[in-house]
Structure 1
Amino acid sequence: TFDDARNNLEFVNSKIADRAGERGTFMGNALDSVANSAKSNTWSWLAFAFFVITLTGVVAYIFSSQVAVRKTGFFGGIVAFIACLCFIFLAFRSASIAMADDVAIVTAPSTILSTSPREPKDRDQEAMLLHEGTRVQILDSVRSTSDSISTLWYDVQVDNAHRAWINAAAVKKI
Structure 2
Amino acid sequence: MKNILYILLFFIGSLSAQNEKIFDQANALYNEGKYAEAIDRYEVILNTDKHSAELYFNIANAHYKLNNIAPSVYYYEKALALKPKDKDIQGNLAFANNMRIDAIDNLPEVGLTRFVKKATNTLSFDGWAKLSIGLVVMFVLFYLLYYFTFGTGKKRFYFVTSTLSVVLALVALVFTFYSYSLAQKNNPAIIFAKESKVKSEPNLRSDEAFVLHEGTKVQVLDTVKSWKKIKLNDGKTGWIQGEDLKLLNNI
Name whichever structure is richer in helix by fraction: 2
Taking the TM superposition and a 5 Å limit, the aligned residue runs for 1:7-156 are 7-16=91-100, 17-22=102-107, 27-98=112-183, 102-120=187-205, 125-143=207-225, 152-156=226-230
Query: Any conservation in 2 of the 1:114–1:165 contact (CA below 8 Å)?
Result: yes
**Judging changes above 3 Å, is the alpha-carbon distance between structure 1 residues 98 and 21 closer, same or farther for their aligned structure 2 residues?**
closer
Query: Any conservation in 1 of the 2:186–2:219 contact (CA below 8 Å)?
Result: no
Secondary structure class of the residue paired with 1:50: helix
Q: CA deviation at 1:120?
A: 4.8
- Please tell me the residue identity of whatever aligns with 2:245: V
Matched residue count = 163
Q: Which runs of 5+ in 2 are unaligned?
A: 1-53, 55-85
**Judging changes above 3 Å, is the alpha-carbon distance between structure 1 residues 71 and 31 closer, same or farther for their aligned structure 2 residues?**
same
Q: CA deviation at 1:23?
A: 6.9
CA distance in structure 2 between the aligned counterparts of 1:30 and 1:13, rounded to whole angstroms: 27
Once superposed, which parts of structure 1, at least 4 consecutive aligned residues long, lie more than 6 Å away? none
Name whichever structure is richer in strand by fraction: 1
Percent identity, please.
23
Secondary structure class of the residue paired with 2:218: strand
Secondary structure class of the residue paired with 1:128: strand
Secondary structure class of the residue paired with 1:12: helix
Which of 228, 234, 239 is the aligned partner of 1:165?
Answer: 239
- Please tell me the residue identity of whatever aligns with 1:10: A
**Judging changes above 3 Å, is the alpha-carbon distance between structure 1 residues 110 and 93 closer, same or farther for their aligned structure 2 residues?**
same
Q: CA deviation at 1:9?
A: 1.6
Q: Which runs of 5+ in 1 are unaligned?
A: 144-151
Q: Which has the higher contact order (CA 8 A, sep 6+)?
A: 1
